[in-house]
Structure formats: structure tokens, C-alpha cells
Structure 1
């Protein structure tokens, strides 16, 4: 167990909290699916992760039992609330400024969003021995509930908030574990595999790399949520938090010095939609290549954007108005290739939806409300029982 005078006492040493790696091969396999151990290196690192051990009790209340996942600025843990006797999730944020912005946006959402039931908003927050906060979170995604995540965006946008990081990892379904013992949870979710964080000595305490839970389909609930507000902002905020989503989700105008808007969220939403429907990403996630994919699929970028690309490797050919979409890589071709099992009418609806949203001019994209009422969108949602 991890022991530290700044934390509440841990549970007894003989309590079951999974299995430590047995050998070097098992350790290497674990490190391939966890956050990099360098995230915990304190030297010359502005984005230090807070180390956690299974079996710790945080804030004198939350017993850490398993790992839900991790992102670029946080780890997410399954914990048992010893006070209220219920399972919760703890999002433990790093020292990066995104953490401070996310706390601010959770408060803003609680204050201004009228319908937040489909948003993963913190139930409570607390400060650990270094400036890191804990918030409630969930994980997962499902195509059949995309209508719910779009409704979540609609609620945010109605309050004048841009999410800025809509991705498949931030669209989440609920999981029910009510009244299960820890051993029963491990039977359903897989026993945690763990090892001490290697190679670095955190200045505050020890921690562990822990493999994430499995996600059994039978535990999913029919509620769908949108979370992670580290990059979110009010449209009226005078400054924008630095950062982009994974480039394959990023709208092209954001890569050409345009300020974020609700329209950039709609673009990102459609990329998530396409991944879940096609089981394939429409666009690359590498610098430069993502814009090349945009052009091959959708045609040339607006000529007036030339010279404004924010990343290295821009090409004049992207803005050449004589260039046409590649017929082997346009929307219709991608849908036909990846969903040959779907009937032609369904494929036509999907291509029509994508074509309405994946346009370069943000002003011409439908709003979340308009997309929810769109006849092609409704036809697909009705087919999938949404």
C-alpha cells in the first residue's frame, strides 16, 4: 500500500486490491496501456500527474478501488464513497493550467446550464496535497446514444459555452455497479494489474501504474454523457485557454487562427459520429496529414485561409480552388466502403448528414438544435432506436 502522512490511512495490508506485475514482460505490457510514467517526473515538467495507489483513502472519504482511464491532463479512478456508501469516479487532474480552467467551467456549467443531466459535472471537489482537484466522471461511448451527446452539446451551447474538446473519449455512458462487493466488481471489470511507478521519485509520495477496467456491455445504462471541460470556455470569455483536441477531431478553421465557436463543437461531434458508425476515422491525427485528409475528402480549403495555418508543413495545394475531392476518398466512398452491410437508403442519410456538418464555413454548419431536428439525422436515429 501507499502510505503518506498527508493522506488518510490506507486499508489493511491484506485487503485485496488486484495484482502486482510478476515479471518484466508483464510490466512492459502494462506500461503500453497506461499513462506514461514520465507524467510523474517532477523535474522540468509543468504537467505533473498526482500519483495514486489502489487502497488509498483520499479526502478522508474516497477509497480508490480501480482505474477507469487517463487523458492528457488527468487520471480517472473508481472509488467507493465511505461516507455515503456508494461508488463514485474521481478525476484527479494534473498541475497543468487546464485543471484550473476545468474547475472554473464546472462551476460555470452548474450556474448557467439549465439542463445538465447529460453532462458529467462534478458532484464535489477537493484539494490534494499538491494543487490537483478531484471530480466525478464516467467513461465509454456508444453510437446508439449519439442523440443524447448532441443534446448535451445543445445544453452547453444554449448557455454560451463551447466545449472545444468533443472526442470519442469524452462521450461517455453510465455503468451500474450498485451494491457489488469489491471482489464482485473485480469479477465484472477485471482484476487491476498494477506496478510501482518506475524510474521517477515523486516529491510528495509513491504511486502506481494501474491497468484500466474492462467495460462489459451488460453493465451499461441507457444514459449518455459529455465530460471533460478542461478546454471549455464561455463564448464571451476575453481569453481562450490554449490547446486543441486530438487533431482528427479539430475543425479546420481552428487550425487557421479562427476563435473557437459552437460550430467547431458540431464538426468534432460529426467526426465522433463517423467513427462510431464507420468504426474508422475520416481524418488523420497527424499534423499536416489531417488537412490533407480534409482536402481529399471535402475539396480545397477557402483561398482566404492561405497563410494562416497554425502548424508547420502547410501546403499551397490545400487552397487551390481547382482541386476536387478524390472520388475514392470522398464521403460517399468512405461510407460505401466501411458500411457495405447497410442498405443504400441508410447510407444516403448518413452521407447527407456528414455533408451538412463537415463544411469549412462555420456559419454554414447546423447548430445542435438544427441537427437534432434534421430529417436525415432523425431517420438514422430512428433506425437505431434513439
Structure 2
């Protein structure tokens, strides 16, 4: 077992304590919700934090050195909660699924979990194998903040292989979006470049009860992507309620395919249906909440004048036609009419010109 390393206590930029920084800029930030992680801290007598990788409304993420196995792990320290995290249950279930599929290679699961007591309560901690940057961040480096077709096609191909594996295991990932698709890492030696906290420590905002560190970006890799974050996954045996809207459209076009985000009232309900009708056409069965007995739209919300042909602006001619055919297959009103992930892998557009 390796000995913990000693990190510097000086030689870094100290940031203005009066200005919000990193997780403090989030709309719902409260310091009492976050565990005050320190660089060099050892969790569970095993995982030493070596740098900060990111933050969000529900957690902060750190790169750790596993002192027992002398390798890297990624540690997600959740905000204070006593609620059981469903991602742990989903990961344990999938790891116990002994059927070899191939898609498990492209699914990033929790490898270990434990809890830590902070100043204000209990914080769940999840461990993962290291991965590269999110597809979302790689998109920001590209023209138009979106993946070109030659990158979109293989990315969605690997995602569908992962989804087929999940579906065969009776698990549904309801949160497919650029944030949850990570580039893979084959050679973890590139992570040594992340360990600059000893020679070049990151800027820090020092407060009386915590230190907020600057995030270091994960390296840009060219390895096959992984589907990650199963906090919103569902088991097929459970009854599903609420909205499920994967943001895969964002990979190729800016913005979301459907804009309305909730169903808090009748107006929100009508807004969502109006958006869907504008792109998919009317459903086969009409609700009397929104249509009259003659099938005429009666809601106060107007149906937008738009189409997938207009919204899909990044492709032209025949490429656009077969891409839209791919989309149409996935956007059927009736779930039983939508193709499975395995069937979509045989789609003309997704297979590309190499088949």
C-alpha cells in the first residue's frame, strides 16, 4: 500500500474570498450541502484526492489515487443526504448480470461506494474508473458547438450498443445527454499529467471552514465513449411516471428538440403537446383536454410552425433525408412502434457508408 503524498500549503494563487467561485455560482448553492473536500485528503482510508475534476448541483468530482491498488479512481462526493442513491443499486444489479453482451464495455458503473460524515451531515461517495472529458465539453471545441456527422454517427453507435446491453438487462437509461457520454481512457498514464497540485497547485479560494479549488479539465482522448450516470435509470419491472426526454438531439443541433420542461399546470401540458404535434403530427388518439370531439385543437397554446426538416439544419440532400428517417423511427407516438436499440444499430444512417 502506497503512503499518502504531502501537498503544498503555499505557492498557489489565492482568490478573492468575496467573489463567488465554481460551485458557489450555482443557483441552489448552500455551503451546508457540500462536503468540504481538501486536496490530499484520504477517504475511506484508501482514496487520496489529488485534484478537482468538476462540480454540479448534486456533487463535486475528484481524481484520486487508490493507495491500496496504486491506480487512479474518480470520486464523486454527493451533497448532504440520507437518501439511498439509486445509481448504486443499478450498478450492483448490472455488475451481477453475468450474461456477456459486449455493450458492458461502454457502460460506466459505480465500482465502490461508502459514506462520509461532514460538518452538517452524511454524504454518499461513489467511485468510478477514470474516463475522459464529457462529449458536451468536446463539442464546445468544435464549430457550431455540436458534433459533425462523422463523429455523431460512431458516438451514437456506441451509445446504442450500451443501450442494447441495458435493455437486455431490463434497465432503461432515461437521461441520455451530452453530459452523460464520456470519452474513454485506454492508457491511464495520461492521468499523471493531472497531478500538478504538487508542482503547480491550482488556484484556491480559502474560507474559514472550507477551501474551494479550481477545476482541472480531464484530457481530450480519442477512445470509444461510455454511457455514464445512472441516477435516473429505471428497472423495466417498475411503473414509469414523469417526463423522460433524452437530450441526444443536442449532440448534433444546438438546443433541445422540445423546449417545455415540466407539466406543472394545464398550460405546460398543452405547450408540450403543441411542440410534439408540430414535429410529429397529431397522435392517433386525441385527448378531450386539448381537442374537441371533431378532432380540432382547442387549447389556447398555438401549435408552432416548424418541422424536423427545418430544425435539422446541419445536413443537406440525401444525408439529411436518411438522418431524418433515423429520427422519425425514434419519435413514434406509440412506444411499441419505436424500434429497439438493437434494431436502430441496423439503420442505414447509423451504419454509414462503410457497410
**Shorter-chain TM-score: what band?**
0.7 to 0.9
* Alignment match, 2:139: none
Range 129-138 or range 207-216, more displaced = 207-216
1:90 to 75, 92, 95: 75
Residue 306 of structure 1, CA deviation: 5.7
Tell me whether 1:376 sits opposite 2:349 in the alignment: yes
Residue 162 of structure 1: how far off its partner (Å) = 1.5
3-state DSSP class of the match of 1:225? strand
What corresponds to 2:65 in structure 1? 80
Which residue matches 1:214?
217
Counterpart in the other structure of 1:151: 161
**Structure 1 23/104 Cα, relative in aligned 2: closer, same or farther at 3 Å?**
closer
Bigger shift: 9-18 or 289-298? 9-18
Change (3 A) 1:162 1:172: same
Alignment of 1:201-350 (within 5 A): 206-217=209-220, 220-237=221-238, 250-251=244-245, 268=246, 271-272=247-248, 274-284=249-259, 286-287=261-262, 288=268, 290-301=272-283, 303-304=285-286, 316=290, 321-322=295-296, 326=304, 328-336=305-313, 339=314, 342-350=315-323
Q: Report runs of 4+ in structure 1 exceeding 6 Å deviation.
A: 317-320
The counterpart of 2:45, out of the listed 60, 73, 97, is 60
- Is the helix fraction higher in 1 or 2? 1
**CA RMSD, Structure 1 to Structure 2 (Å):** 3.7
The CA deviation at 1:182 is: 5.9
TM-score computed with the length of structure 1 as normaliser: 0.68
Cα distance in 1, alignment partners of residues 54 and 292 from structure 2? 37
Distance (Å, rounded) in 2 between the aligned partners of 1:378 and 1:123: 32
Query: What SS class does the counterpart of residue 125 from structure 1 fall into?
Result: strand
TM-score, normalised to structure 2, is: 0.73
Question: Take 1:214 and 1:73, find their aligned partners in 2: how far apart are those partners?
Answer: 19
Counterparts in 2 of 1:348 and 1:21: CA distance versus 1, 3 Å: same
For residues 319 and 99 of structure 1, the distance between their equivalents in structure 2, rounded to whole angstroms, comes to: 47
Output the CA distance in 1 between the equivalents of 2:82 and 2:277.
Answer: 34
Change (3 A) 1:15 1:51: closer
SS of structure 1 residue aligned to 2:252: helix
Deviations 1:95-129 (A, max 9, x none): 55764322111110101263421111122223323
* Residue 29 of structure 2: aligned partner: 37
Partner in structure 2 of residue 119 of structure 1: 107
Whether the aligned pair in 2 keeps the contact of 1:303 and 1:319 (CA below 8 Å) is no
| 8 Å CA contact retained: 2:81, 2:124 | no
Change over 3 Å in CA distance of 1:322–1:332 after alignment to 2: farther
Q: Equivalent residue for 1:351?
A: 324
C-alpha change, 1:180 and 1:228, in structure 2 (3 Å) is closer
